[in-house]
Amino acid sequence: MPLVLVTVVSTFLASAVECVEALTIVLAVGLTRQWRSTLLGVAAAAVVLAGLVVVFGAAIATFVPIDLLRLIVGAFLVIYGLQWLTKAILRASGARAKHDESAIYAAEIVALQAEAPVPATGMDWVSFTVAFKGVLLEGLEVAFIVVSFGASAGMLGPAALGAAAAAVVVTVVGVAVRGPLARVPENGLKFLVGLMLTTFGTFWSAEGLGVDWPGDDLAIVGLIVLYVALAMVAVRFVAVRIESHHVHAAASTSPAAD
């Protein structure tokens, strides 16, 4: 039961981040151009993503030996998780601007307004294409996480449930707000998801190599604590370097003393 809960929560959080970004695009297209074509694009992308999860998830779980699967998937999750974690560390330390859904939403609207006018009748292919591409691109990351968690843990159903729940929650909130979810702590969520992906990737890849973790699944807790500590040290290290750089830059530009 705990593993089921961890799988659902992990895929929910990871999927929520991508769903928020996809929602920003969908809202910009629908409110600026035509809702019918926009929703058709969203539906088409959802069908493609669901098909990918079912086909590849079932095929991988059926035909790939579990140890090899955990080794390969675990390695990919470590790489993928470290990418998220690196961006989160840079944002938390001030070395990189934080993700701003409001700014992205405004830029998307400007780009859409530069497109050809919405047809008076029939399909608006600009709305369909932009919505389809936005949902598909963000959704591919969700599909990868769902298949990775589901196949490695033998829980494709709970993993898909977590992703679906995230899509529903984000959609409902987006409809209620009728605007980008700028107040969602997306940068904090990415930090958390990066830690979780890196942790599970390390755990599964080591299992694929034949490592017997002390305490079995409880070792995941130890890995999370380790990665959190390392991430905090990294944030502080980068912040100190930035502060030191600013001090040196200010000193070098200040007038020389008489």
- Given a contact cutoff of 8 angstroms between Cβ atoms, the answer to whether 121 and 127 are in contact is no
Distances (CA, A) of 234 to 17, 58, 89, 239, 249: 23, 38, 7, 8, 22
Confidence at residue 1, expressed as pLDDT on a 0 to 100 scale:
47
- Reduce the DSSP state of residue 184 to 3 states and report it: coil
The string of pLDDT tens digits covering residues 90-111 is 888 888 877 777 888 888 888 9
User: Distance between CA atoms of 56 and 200, rounded to whole angstroms?
Assistant: 20
pLDDT band for position 54 (50/70/90)?
confident
User: Distance between CA atoms of 242 and 36, rounded to whole angstroms?
Assistant: 48
